């Protein structure tokens, strides 16, 4: 049996990790800040949920074209451009906070010349929509969704291109860890820096790092994946991979992201305020940033562990099931949490379950998917994950206002168990066994090796 050790990843993957880490600041910085801004800006809970989930809804139509573009044109250009777009999106948060209050526009609207029947009241209404902070936050999240669709599809495909069966789980976990590790940094930045220097400062620093990411990628990430015909049919938003492996992994991702992003990240700042839980005397924004950062740090660590363990075992299925159960336990603990210690344990378990599945799950997808379809398969996985992540805030925020936190968190505990059932059924249908072996070849798409181990 191969020893459980970690080798240094290829230099290209190190560049991918650095780029996704820097850009991840923009993904995390908004979560500790925006829920509390709702009351200040006069934004409803539904609107806050819509802003937080807008990037995922946009990725629903962008993920599949991004994957198809990767299979047709390669990874380098979509990766660099996607990072740059995410950097511009982070700047949009700064612009949103710089917009003046709607009421301050009334004198300006009254002074504008009227056109036909358009009067000052109509000018005021139009200007209020254009400069409304929520409109700029929403636009920024839309741009973030477009950029991240390209980044996710390319990052996983680069990892698959550079891996064989003995390193695929580890490399997928490392890349996913790079994507994820920037997020807790953004959470801490959003919570702590906003408390110390203000929200604008937090968003501005995140934007600077996000734009740096595209520079790093342009300098150090080469092309790895030109396998398709560039003169093929047009690329469409519904061009997803409907093969069983892609749908199976995507549905597992759906359940996990619904609970993780929707039930935890989108509501934690409100949960802390309602239960008067604080770390180091920080307000709910700062405390939620630290708790969420701890959750993601736990996820990042277990991404490496889960991926590496799956590379040393005959089948990746058992380690996936173990971490799905860990996620189940985490949400049960969350439903009963009432103190710093109990909430900390819940966050560690939830992070471990989320992270531990990531590397083995993407490695399993690469095991069962031909190289020329890996971009589309990654896009399909992202589409279904984004459906879960997009529905989560829209469903959980209003329901928590109606029934409270504990029932929603308890209900989310069932999702990892359902995901485990989907995983077993899908793997069995595709390979004829619940425990398919790792692919022996250098590239994805070889016949899976059945095993009873």
DSSP 212-273: HHHHHHHHH-------S-TTSSPP-TT----SHHHHHHHHHHHHHHIIIIIIIITTHHHHHH
Q: How far is CA 141 from the centre of its chain?
A: 13
Q: What is the pLDDT of residue 324?
A: 96
pLDDT, one tens digit per residue, over 24-43 is 777 777 767 776 666 666 66
> Which residues sit opposite 436 in a β-bridge?
450
Secondary structure (3-state) at 182:
helix
DSSP 128-179: HHHH-HHHHHHHHHHHHHHHHHHHHHHHHHHHHHT--TTTHHHHHHHHHHHH
Domain 11-224+238-446 sits in CATH 1.10.10.10: no
pLDDT, one tens digit per residue, over 153-200 is 888 788 878 777 677 777 777 777 777 677 767 767 777 777 777 778
Q: Which residue shows structure tokens 């520079």?
A: 215
Tokens of 13: 């993957």
pLDDT above 70 (res 233): no
Burial class (CB in 10 A: 0-12, 13-18, 19+), 318: middle
Q: What is the pLDDT of residue 42?
A: 67
**7 and 205 in contact (C-beta within 8 Å)?**
no
Q: What is the pLDDT of residue 442?
A: 41
DSSP 17-85: HHHHHHHHHHHHTHHHHHHHHHHHHT--HHHHHHHHHHHHHHHHHHHHHHHHHHHHH-SHHHHHHHHHH
DSSP 437: E
Q: How far is residue 390's CA from residue 392's CA, in Å, rounded to a whole number?
A: 5
> Which residues sit opposite 115 in a β-bridge?
118
Mean pLDDT value across residues 236-264: 83
Q: How far is residue 357's CA from residue 304's CA, in Å, rounded to a whole number?
A: 10
DSSP 29-41: THHHHHHHHHHHH
Backbone φ and ψ for 450, nearest 5 degrees, come out as: -70, 145
Q: How far is residue 89's CA from residue 211's CA, in Å, rounded to a whole number?
A: 10
Q: What percent of the chain has pLDDT over 90?
A: 17
pLDDT above 70 (res 217): yes
Number of residues assigned to the chain: 453
Tokens of 320: 């996936």
Burial class (CB in 10 A: 0-12, 13-18, 19+), 341: exposed
Greatest mean pLDDT among 2-6, 328-332, 404-408 lies in 328-332
pLDDT, one tens digit per residue, over 45-63 is 777 777 877 887 787 788 7
Crossing angle of helices 268-275 and 30-41, rounded to 10°: 70
- Close Cβ partners of 281 (under 8 Å, ≥ 6 residues apart): none
Q: How far is residue 441's CA from residue 198's CA, in Å, rounded to a whole number?
A: 53
pLDDT, one tens digit per residue, over 86-99 is 989 988 888 887 77
Secondary structure (3-state) at 310:
helix
Higher pLDDT, 334 or 241: 334
């Amino acid at each position: 049996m191969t020893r459980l050790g970690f080798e240094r990843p290829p230099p290209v993957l190190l560049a991918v990790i650095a780029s996704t880490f820097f850009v991840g600041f923009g993904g995390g910085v908004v979560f500790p800040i925006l829920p509390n801004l709702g009351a200040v800006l006069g934004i409803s809970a539904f609107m806050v949920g819509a802003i937080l989930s807008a990037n995922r809804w946009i990725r629903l139509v962008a993920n599949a074209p991004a994957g198809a573009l990767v299979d047709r044109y390669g990874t380098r250009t979509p990766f660099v451009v996607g990072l740059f777009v995410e950097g511009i999106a982070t700047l949009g948060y700064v612009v949103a906070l710089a917009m003046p209050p709607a009421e301050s526009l009334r004198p300006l609207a009254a002074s504008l010349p009227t056109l036909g029947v358009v009067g000052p009241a109509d000018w005021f209404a139009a200007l209020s929509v254009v400069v409304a902070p929520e409109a700029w936050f929403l636009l920024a999240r839309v741009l973030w969704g477009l950029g991240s669709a390209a980044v996710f599809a390319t990052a996983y495909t680069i990892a698959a291109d550079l891996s064989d069966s003995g390193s695929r789980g580890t490399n997928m976990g490392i890349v996913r860890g790079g994507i994820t590790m920037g997020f807790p940094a953004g959470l801490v930045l959003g919570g702590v820096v906003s408390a110390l220097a203000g929200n604008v400062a937090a968003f501005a620093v995140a934007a600077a790092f996000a734009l740096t990411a595209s520079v790093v990628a342009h300098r150090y990430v080469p092309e790895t994946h030109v396998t398709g015909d560039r003169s093929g049919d047009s690329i469409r938003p519904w061009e997803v991979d409907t093969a069983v492996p892609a749908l199976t992994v995507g549905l597992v991702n759906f359940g996990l992201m619904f609970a993780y992003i929707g039930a935890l990240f989108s509501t934690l700042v409100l949960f802390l305020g309602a239960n008067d839980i604080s770390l180091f005397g920080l307000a709910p924004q700062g405390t939620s940033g630290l708790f969420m950062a701890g959750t993601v740090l736990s996820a990042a660590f277990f991404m490496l562990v889960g991926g590496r363990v799956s590379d040393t075992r005959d089948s990746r299925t058992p380690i996936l099931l173990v971490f799905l159960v860990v996620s189940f336990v985490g949400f049960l603990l969350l439903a009963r949490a009432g103190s710093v210690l109990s909430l900390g344990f819940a966050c560690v378990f939830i992070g471990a379950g989320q992270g531990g599945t990531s590397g083995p799950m993407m490695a399993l997808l690469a095991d069962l998917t031909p190289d020329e379809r890996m971009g589309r398969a990654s896009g399909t996985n992202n589409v279904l994950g984004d459906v879960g992540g997009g529905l989560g805030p829209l469903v959980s925020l209003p329901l928590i206002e109606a029934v409270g936190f504990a029932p929603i968190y308890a209900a989310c505990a069932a999702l990892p168990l359902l995901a485990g059932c989907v995983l077993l059924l899908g793997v069995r249908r595709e390979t004829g066994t619940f425990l398919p072996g790792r692919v022996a070849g250098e590239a994805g798409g070889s016949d899976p090796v059945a095993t009873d181990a």
